[in-house]
């Protein structure tokens, strides 16, 4: 059996083969650690994607007279990817309020860093409802303008 620290890809394939074969020769501790890491990575991906989406929605709102195509693209991409991620891992929804709160704080920081605006000029709480955030028909600002 390949050592976990020597060749991770080969180790993973071997462990998958062993699991399917029902053998008892499994690297249980490292398998458990990898599964925990995978769960954390999925949660982190949701956090990152929500943060990017909220940052772009906030910039779209704040700079309605100078909207950037990149914000539009990011909003579209994240609104497509987040539901896929949640469909693949529905348990991530259990932590959505905390994830959304973290993502909102990071989005505020990122908007300040990208624009030079003071944080005091940004809304303290997220101005978008949970439904609006992922609603492909919702575009903040002037009516009829995506």
pLDDT, one tens digit per residue, over 31-80 is 888 888 888 899 999 999 999 999 999 999 999 889 999 999 999 999 99
Is 64 inside a domain boundary?
yes
Question: What's the CA gap between 102 and 126, in Å, rounded?
Answer: 11
Count of structural domains, the chain:
1
Is 143 inside a domain boundary?
no
Is 146 inside a domain boundary?
no
pTM of the complete model: 0.83
3-class DSSP assignment, residue 40: helix
Is 130 inside a domain boundary?
yes
Mean pLDDT of 132-144: 84
Range of the domain at 69: 8-134
Is 144 inside a domain boundary?
no
Is 102 inside a domain boundary?
yes
Is 86 inside a domain boundary?
yes
């Amino acid at each position: 059996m390949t050592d976990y620290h020597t060749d991770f890809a080969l180790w993973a394939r071997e462990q998958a083969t062993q699991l399917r074969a029902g053998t008892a020769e499994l690297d249980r501790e490292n398998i458990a650690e990898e599964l925990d890491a995978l769960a954390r990575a999925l949660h982190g991906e949701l956090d990152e994607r929500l943060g990017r989406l909220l940052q772009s929605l906030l910039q779209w709102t704040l700079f309605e007279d100078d909207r950037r195509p990149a914000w539009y693209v990011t909003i579209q991409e994240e609104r497509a990817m987040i539901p896929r991620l949640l469909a693949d891992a529905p348990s991530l929804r259990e932590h959505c309020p905390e994830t959304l709160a973290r993502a909102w704080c990071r989005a505020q920081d990122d908007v300040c860093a990208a624009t030079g605006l003071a944080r005091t000029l940004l809304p303290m709480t997220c101005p978008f409802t949970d439904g609006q955030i992922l609603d492909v028909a919702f575009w903040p600002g002037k009516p009829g303008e995506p």
